């Protein structure tokens, strides 16, 4: 499994928190991307959200494994 965040940044990398998403657009995308940006940057919130999502969307409900 690949790491979510690389421990070391490379030359030329852009910090996700530093990206300006241009909130002057009347489309829904800047708001959605701003929410995802906040979720990505807040490690505690992201962990809680992912754990909650995994509990609600357990894969055993989605995948029917053949009985042995």
Q: Has residue 64 got a pLDDT over 70?
A: no
Alpha helix (H) residue ranges in the chain: 29-41, 43-56, 59-62
Structure confidence by residue, pLDDT tens digits, 2-60: 666 666 777 777 777 888 877 777 778 888 888 889 998 999 999 898 888 877 776 66
Nearest to 46 by CA among 36, 57, 59, 56: 36
pTM of the model: 0.56
Q: Is 57 helix (H, G, I), strand (E, B) or coil?
A: coil
The residue extents of the domains of the chain are 19-61
Is 46 in contact with 38 (CB distance < 8 Å)? Answer: no
Nearest to 37 by CA among 61, 21, 59: 21
């Amino acid at each position: 499994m690949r790491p979510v965040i690389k421990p070391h940044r490379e030359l030329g990398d852009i910090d996700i928190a530093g990206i300006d998403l241009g909130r002057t657009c009347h489309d829904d995308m800047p708001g959605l991307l701003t929410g995802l940006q906040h979720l990505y940057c807040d490690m505690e919130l992201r962990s809680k959200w992912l754990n909650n999502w995994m509990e609600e969307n357990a894969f055993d409900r989605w995948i029917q494994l053949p009985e042995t």
